């Protein structure tokens, strides 16, 4: 039987930054994510309850969604495999942070796209929890970049040339 | 100000097949979609209330998610731009259907991946409605295919070679 991550693949990858009630931040990689609404902007992602991100969202219902570019594939992989319970991923990966404007978790320096979000839905479906967040502030420095697309485990891809449909 | 569809792009494209209370089917293209859970399998997508798919889901809370391959880009584009209110897209695009096993909307013939789903959440967020469906039956004929990735309007892409992270 195929896994759902093989059936719907590859997927856009995002980094989700959260913090616990003490303000200690965590960063992790997700590819079960999508836009939901244009105006106001909403995004959704799905998180396993085993992840530190889940724990943090229960304490502080706010997050930053950062969209990494192709050069950051190894950062994405490290963010997806190392647990924030055991290691400070920001220090390990040399990720510098800055105070966000509308949410408690920090934003990263020099990412093409970052969205500050507050959780409006946090609900269990099967082995994951669905998170829907409303975007309160966005930081966009670049839109024309090669994204990180995820298949499963350490297998990634990026895009080919653009194709115009007729 | 950038659109959310430019900020999170490109996205995996899926075709959603629904039907009204009379059983009349519709097919439409979506790229605000993602997996939610592995076991049991759940998927989510986001739909504008102006679309026929929305009307159908209010009448019959079931759908089929079909994942198209790169050769179907023009079908995807037509499914995303023509309204099922005005035209029978199945006939127009030469899409043959078969009875599904667990849901009222039909499945297509010869698609690589199709998931029969029943809606468990249907909730408004901003200008769209979030739909979460549990997968009750899956049809997988092929996993190693080039998917259709969507930017916006008629701009699509597919994937480059696979990249192994370290």
Q: According to the model, what pLDDT value does residue B110 have?
A: 84
Mean pLDDT of B139-165: 90
Q: According to the model, what pLDDT value does residue A141 have?
A: 92
The residue of chain B with its CA nearest to that of A13 is B8
Q: According to the model, what pLDDT value does residue A166 have?
A: 82
Chain B residues with CB under 8 Å of A44 CB are 34, 44, 46, 130
Kindly tell me if the per-residue pLDDT of A1 is higher than 90: no
Q: According to the model, what pLDDT value does residue A11 have?
A: 96
Residue A163 phi/psi, 5-degree rounding, is -120, 130
Chain A residues with CB under 8 Å of B123 CB are 121
How would residue B26 be classed by pLDDT, with cut points 50, 70 and 90? very high
% of chain A at pLDDT higher than 70? 100
Residue A145 CA: distances (Å) to CA of A62, A114, B10, B61, B149: 26, 14, 11, 38, 15
What are the pLDDT digits (tens) for A44-76? Answer: 999 999 999 999 999 999 999 999 999 999 999
Does A157 contact chain B (CB < 8 Å)?
yes
Interior angle at CA B83, CA A164 and CA B88, nearest 5? 105
- Torsion of Cα atoms, B116 then B120 then B123 then B129, to 10°: 0
**Residue B16 distance to chain A (closest CA, Å):** 13
Any alpha helices (H) in B73-146, and if so which ranges?
73-81, 89-93
Contacts of B47 (CB under 8 A, 6+ apart): B16, B30, B53, B54, B57, B128, B129, B131
ipTM reported for the complex surpasses 0.85 = yes
More confident residue, A154 or A135: A135
More confident residue, A39 or B87: A39
Residue B131, H or E segment: strand B128-140
Contacts of B55 (CB under 8 A, 6+ apart): B20
C-beta separation of A131 from A125 below 8 A: no
Residue B118 CA to residue A23 CA, distance in Å, equals 39
Q: According to the model, what pLDDT value does residue B160 have?
A: 85
Q: According to the model, what pLDDT value does residue B86 have?
A: 86
Selecting from A126, A159, A165 the residue whose C-beta is nearest the C-beta of B37 gives: A126
Average model confidence (pLDDT) for chain A? 94
Residue A21 phi/psi, 5-degree rounding, is -65, -20
Kindly tell me if the per-residue pLDDT of B105 is higher than 90: yes
Residue A156 CA to residue A144 CA, distance in Å, equals 19
How would residue A165 be classed by pLDDT, with cut points 50, 70 and 90? confident
What are the pLDDT digits (tens) for B70-95? Answer: 999 999 999 888 888 888 999 999 99
Q: According to the model, what pLDDT value does residue A83 have?
A: 83
Q: According to the model, what pLDDT value does residue A160 have?
A: 85
Residue A44 region, left (φ>0) first, then alpha (ψ -120 to 50), else beta? beta
Kindly tell me if the per-residue pLDDT of B20 is higher than 90: yes
Selecting from A33, A123, A135 the residue whose C-beta is nearest the C-beta of B34 gives: A33
Locate B69 and state its tokens.
């391959």
How would residue B102 be classed by pLDDT, with cut points 50, 70 and 90? very high
Residue A52 CA to residue A43 CA, distance in Å, equals 20
**Max alpha carbon distance in chain B (Å)?**
53
How would residue A97 be classed by pLDDT, with cut points 50, 70 and 90? very high
Does B96 contact chain A (CB < 8 Å)?
no
C-beta separation of B62 from B96 below 8 A: no
CB contact under 8 A, B38 and A147: no
How would residue B138 be classed by pLDDT, with cut points 50, 70 and 90? very high
How would residue B1 be classed by pLDDT, with cut points 50, 70 and 90? confident
Domains of chain B: 4-157 (2.30.110.10)
Beta carbons within 10 angstroms of residue B35's beta carbon: 26
CB contact under 8 A, A134 and B156: no
% of chain B at pLDDT higher than 70? 100
Residue B147 CA to residue A46 CA, distance in Å, equals 21
What are the pLDDT digits (tens) for B38-73? Answer: 999 999 999 999 999 999 999 999 999 999 999 999
Kindly tell me if the per-residue pLDDT of A137 is higher than 90: yes
The residue of chain B with its CA nearest to that of A10 is B12
The residue of chain A with its CA nearest to that of B73 is A165
Locate A78 and state its tokens.
């490290």
Average model confidence (pLDDT) for chain B? 94
pTM of the model: 0.96
Mean pLDDT of B23-36: 97
Kindly tell me if the per-residue pLDDT of A40 is higher than 90: yes
Count of CA atoms in the C-beta half-sphere (13 A) of B26: 26
Question: Nearest-CA neighbor of A74 among A134, A13, A7?
Answer: A13
């Amino acid at each position: 039987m195929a896994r759902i991550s093989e059936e719907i693949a590859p997927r856009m990858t995002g980094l989700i930054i959260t913090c616990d009630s003490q303000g200690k931040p965590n960063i992790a990689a997700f590819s079960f994510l999508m836009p939901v609404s244009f105006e106001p902007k909403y995004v959704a992602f799905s998180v396993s309850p085993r992840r530190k991100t889940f724990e943090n969202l229960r304490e502080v219902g706010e997050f930053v969604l950062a969209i990494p570019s192709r050069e950051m594939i190894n950062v994405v992989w490290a963010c997806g495999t190392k647990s924030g319970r055991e290691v400070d991923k920001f220090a390990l990966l040399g990720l510098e942070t800055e105070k966000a404007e509308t949410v408690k978790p920090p934003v990263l320096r020099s990412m093409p796209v970052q969205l500050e979000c507050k959780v409006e839905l946090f609900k269990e479906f099967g082995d994951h929890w669905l998170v829907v967040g409303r975007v309160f502030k966005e930081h966009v420095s670049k839109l024309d970049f090669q994204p990180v697309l995820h298949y499963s485990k350490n297998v990634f891809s990026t895009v080919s040339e653009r194709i115009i449909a007729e």
